[in-house]
Amino acid sequence: MLSRVADSLYWMSRYLERAEHTVRLLDVNMGLMLDRSSTSAEGRWLRVLAALGNPEEIEWRGDYNQLVRALTFDADNRASITACIVSARENARQVRDELSTEQWQRLNRLYLQATEPNISGNGHGLEEFLPVVLDGLHLFQGVTDTTMNHGEGWQFIQMGRSIERAFATVKLLDIYYRDFFVTAQQTPDSNQYLEWIGLLRCCTAFEAYCRVYTADLTHEWILEFLLLNPDFPHSVRYAIDGLRQAVISVQQSSGRLASDELSRMAGRLQASLNFAEINEILDQDVSAYMSNILRQCLLIHDLIYGSYIHYSVQAALSA
């Protein structure tokens, strides 16, 4: 596969996963604003910005409606939902021949809905926009899995989705742990309880968590579920398992020896999660543990680029 094709598929997938993550963050936190608790609105939206990497183009100015609309409709802000969809569609356009007709139609329809000139101007634009985007993203993922050949191109899409999902979930967990979990009492007060539900809903995990642990919320169980559960699609372990499998599949199909280091790094991160226990994690500096996972994800991203996208001529000739 050409490196430019791998690059476009990888980033198309990352941008779409990023858009979905942003939709959930905004939708959940807008819902939490309806509860008139003592939780600081400023703190809540600062957490949202931190989870999105504190985009330079946006800052908290006390008006959450303005902030939400900027994170939704502002195409000039790279962190906005619209900008992510536009970038994903541009990457897809560059490799149109690698996608099925159904994929292109679904993504193009989502792009047209996101860039509709009147959607951000009418009074109900936001309420209509977020569900449309979420449905469109889920449909695209389903269409991708059912209409695209599960070869190298599909595996690069899995790589992008998995690494973006793992990174976003770890970052969110780290922010919530520092703000709520470290000082959490045995029985959380109503504000903490509400925020923990919000965290689970940001990861589409509330119902899945309750099936495993019942509705009894503790910071240990939430951390264990979102970090280490092997069966839940939005857990970090599940995402890294998918990333490692995609790396192995691409390595086998390409035969590129330069990816050995990538395979080892992905395998090391996978093993650290597969054999970890929550008590061991809680006995150490949890923020440092999260930072280490984020660092490894960045290294894996760099190795993906070094092995398959920006590799040297010598590496290509030796493959």
Residue that wins the pLDDT comparison between 58 and 230: 230
Average pLDDT over residues 193-209: 93
pLDDT exceeds 80 at position 257: no
With 60 as the cut, is the pLDDT of residue 94 above it?
A: yes
Q: Rounded to a whole number, what is the distance in angstroms from the first to the last CA of the chain?
A: 13
Own/partner long-range contacts of 277-285 (Cβ < 8 Å, ≥24 apart): 278/220, 278/223, 278/224, 278/227, 278/228, 281/223, 281/227, 282/220, 282/223
pLDDT at 314: 44
Per-residue pLDDT for 283 more than 50?
A: yes
Residue 184 has what pLDDT? 47
pLDDT at 313 over 50: no
For the chain, the structural domain boundaries read: 1-147, 150-319
**Mean per-residue pLDDT for 300-307?**
92
* Cβ pair 297, 163 in contact under 8 A: yes
Residue 194 is predicted with a pLDDT of 86
Summary mean pLDDT of the chain: 88
pLDDT computed for residue 188 by the predictor: 62
The structure tokens listed for 194 are 């509400």
> Residue for token digits 């054999």?
275
Name the range with the highest mean pLDDT among 191-195, 305-309, 315-319. Answer: 305-309
Q: Across residues 168-195, what is the average pLDDT?
A: 78
pLDDT value for 251: 87
The model's pTM is: 0.91
Residue 142: phi and psi, rounded to 5, are -65, -45
Kindly state the average pLDDT of the residues 7-13.
Answer: 97
Confidence of residue 162 (pLDDT cuts 50, 70, 90): very high
Cβ neighbours, 10 Å, residue 64: 18
Q: Render pLDDT for 40-67 as a digit per residue (tens, 0 to 9).
A: 788 889 999 999 998 887 877 878 888 9
Q: What confidence score (pLDDT) does residue 182 get?
A: 52
pLDDT value of residue 119: 61
- Name the pLDDT band for 80 (thresholds 50, 70, 90): very high
Select, from the ranges 176-180, 194-198, 257-261, the one with the highest average predicted confidence (pLDDT).
Answer: 194-198
The confidence score (pLDDT) of residue 32 equals 86
Confidence class for position 91, pLDDT limits 50, 70, 90: very high
Rounded average pLDDT over 89-103: 96
* pLDDT for residue 50: 92
Range 187-204 average pLDDT:
84
Q: Which residue has the higher pLDDT, 142 or 121?
A: 142
From CA 96, how far away is CA 145, in angstroms rounded?
Answer: 17
